[in-house]
Chains A and B, each alone.
Chain A
Amino acid sequence: MKRRNGFLSTVYAGLIFLFLYLPVAVIVVFSFNSGRTTTNFESFSFYWYVRLFTTNFEAQAALRNTLILALSTAVITVLLGTLAAVGIDRLRRKFTERIALSANNIPLMSPEIVMGISMMMLFIFGGALFNQQFVLGFGTVLLAHITMCLPYVILSVLPKLRQTDPHLAEAAQDLGCSQVMAFFRVTLPSITTGIASAFLITFTLSLDNFVISRFTAGPFTTLPLHIFGQIRMLVRPDMYALTTLIFVMMFLLLLGSNLLQARAAKRQNKHT
């Protein structure tokens, strides 16, 4: 009976993984297809990869745009969010703190489409104030992504700050650090894991965002927007190659961060 249960649960888990990864697997496999169709695999080749990097300039530009946007979003949001978290952490009044946290959570709950439309309206309205007709572009989509990601950074950094003994910074000051130095030397090292995961989250959120980008990017093309634009005339297999590359990249990023965390945990427990 027991063995049977074990067998069933293995099958069940196997099915789950199959359904989770089958779509990705199909794309990965067909990205190496020398033919155009997704119905039969003709022969293994790097044709679409080569094509992607030699002739598909639109996709290349979109990829470059997306990476620049995601990186800028991540860097700026993490900076702003960490500062905000430090500020919230130092709020002495519980009431003010609750208000700050609720204000932080509202954008998390509101649908992307609402945020997308409202931000587009805001940008256009703001542009109209300065007699600018075409305001939408890299700047606006960046602002929109920052707004979208900021709450996640605060939610990921604030708990780390809470876990940090407030006496640590005081001890550093006591030993000769100014207040600012104490933050960099003592507080920052104890919240790095939170900051790193905030960076990963914002990077991926920005990388694959479609709805908010659609409303605020204007003529600026990100990869999701570009791929969506192609659906009308059937997605070409070089897009399979591109998604495969992105998938591998995200997989490596995740693997790397997990390894780092595991190593940190091991170092912590080394002697205990």
Chain B
Amino acid sequence: MEKDIIIDLRNINIALGGQPILQDLSLYIRNKEFITLLGPSGCGKTTTLRIIAGFLQPDEGQVIFDGSDCAGVPPHKRQVNTIFQRYALFPHLNVYKNVAFGLKLAKLSKKELHDRVTEMLALVNLTGFEKRTISSLSGGQQQRVAIARALAVRPRVLLLDEPLGALDLKLRKDMQVELKNIQQQLGVTFVYVTHDQEEALSMSDTIVVMDEGVIQQIGTPKDIYDEPKNAFVADFIGESNIIDGIMLADLKVKFAGMTFTCVDKGFAKNEKVDVVIRPEDVDIVPAARGVLPGTITSATFKGVHYEYIVDVQGFKWMIQSTDAYAVDDVIGIMIDPQEMHVMKKSKYSDLIGDYSSFSDEFDELSNPEEDDDE
């Protein structure tokens, strides 16, 4: 276990312009894993990446690479390479020379260099583009050149800073699959930065959820989604109804005026908690058969399912269902014990409310595409 760790960040603290960016961040990265740093703009994920790459020196803490401390090692002497947000391809060089840039510096023989460039361009499906200028390429093609250029020097770790942020949705999905394939094929450790939770869930072996320079949770995509540690994680990853509750005893939680059986235990008696229930885990039944009554206040057709906002005793729930209901229908809701997840109260508990002010538009506005937290 210990042997497999390639990068170990120990108690990293850094402030930029008087603003603390990372606070006591500790994180280890296993060899050959696909790890994603996920969080909103300004959460410190790009800063973490720049510290690993060597562009920033932490104020406190250590970066251990393969067993040795990296303090003072300049970027060009580290066995990590970066894919930058806007690719940072060299505009005065053509595709071939861009990919060959690092190899020339590594003083490879002419034949080796040519073979490696050809191999890399084949890997990213750009064979035949050798002589093209960078400005003549589409965004997706530029992205591929950036990947080929970074991988050509055979880094142990590849750092990717929102690499797909500038691509349109369709291309982004294709590139996600392709990146994952390349990573598995080459066995290179990927450290991936994104604010897109779907991207993180579908690509990663491990997800690190960050906010305000602090790691909120580390886990597999399934852990993070099913067992969020606090209200921030639950809210950031997917949709969730977060309800104030009281843990009466092990396996007994009270919320919305009712006592439910759940699968969580280990809380103090009568401890105040947050209860997370995912919208797809709630069943809508006729009012008479439900455990809680509710009134539908809005219904949106989403293709695969309908998305309802349901008023349950003044608290607005989001519920997804394949059955059609109309606004103002009175319905009942059912929740299975294993669908409830109980979390300790955190500083985020009071910040995250119900879905009364929810709209798709607002959601997109608060999720800006560009993320420059330098």
Interface on A for B, CB 8 Å cutoff? 165, 167-168, 170-179, 186, 189-190, 267-272
Give chain B nearest CB distance to A169 CB in angstroms: 9
Residue of B nearest to A173 (CB): B75
The answer to whether A176 and B82 touch (CB under 8 A), given A168-B88, A171-B88, is: no
A272 near B105 with CB under 8 A, answer no
Interface residues of chain A: helix, strand, loop or mixed (majority): helix
Tell me if B28 counts as interface (CB < 8 A to partner A): no
CA distance A174 to B105 in the complex (A): 11
The answer to whether A268 and B135 touch (CB under 8 A), given A165-B86, A171-B82, A173-B75, is: yes
CA distance A267 to B53 in the complex (A): 34
Residues from chain A with a CB closer than 8 A to the CB of B80 are 174
Residues from chain B with a CB closer than 8 A to the CB of A167 are 84-86, 88
B153 near A176 with CB under 8 A, answer yes
B133 near A174 with CB under 8 A, answer no
Residue of B nearest to A179 (CB): B74
B84 near A170 with CB under 8 A, answer yes
Once A and B bind, how many residue pairs between them come within 8 Å at the CB atom?
66
B105 near A177 with CB under 8 A, answer yes
The answer to whether A271 and B132 touch (CB under 8 A), given A175-B81, A179-B74, is: yes
Tell me if B106 counts as interface (CB < 8 A to partner A): yes
Interface on B for A, CB 8 Å cutoff? 53, 55, 74-76, 80-82, 84-86, 88-92, 101-102, 105-106, 132-133, 135-136, 149-150, 153
**Most B CB within 10 A of own CB, among A176, A179, A190, A269:** A176
Question: Which of A165, A177, A186, A268 interacts with B133 by CB under 8 Å?
Answer: A268
CA distance A272 to B133 in the complex (A): 10
B76 near A175 with CB under 8 A, answer yes
Residues from chain A with a CB closer than 8 A to the CB of B90 are 168, 171-172, 186, 189
A174 near B76 with CB under 8 A, answer yes
- A sample of 7 cross-chain residue pairs with beta-carbon separation below 8 angstroms, ordered by A number, consists of A173-B76, A174-B76, A174-B150, A177-B105, A189-B90, A271-B133, A272-B136
The answer to whether A175 and B133 touch (CB under 8 A), given A165-B88, A168-B90, A170-B88, is: no
A170 near B136 with CB under 8 A, answer no
Give chain A nearest CB distance to B50 CB in angstroms: 9
B55 near A175 with CB under 8 A, answer no
A176 near B74 with CB under 8 A, answer no
Other A-B contacts than A165-B88, A170-B88, A175-B102, 7 sampled, CB-CB below 8 A, are: A168-B88, A170-B84, A173-B74, A174-B53, A178-B76, A269-B135, A270-B133
Residues from chain A with a CB closer than 8 A to the CB of B75 are 170, 173-174
CA distance A182 to B38 in the complex (A): 31
Closest 4 CB pairs of A and B: A271-B136, A175-B102, A176-B105, A167-B88
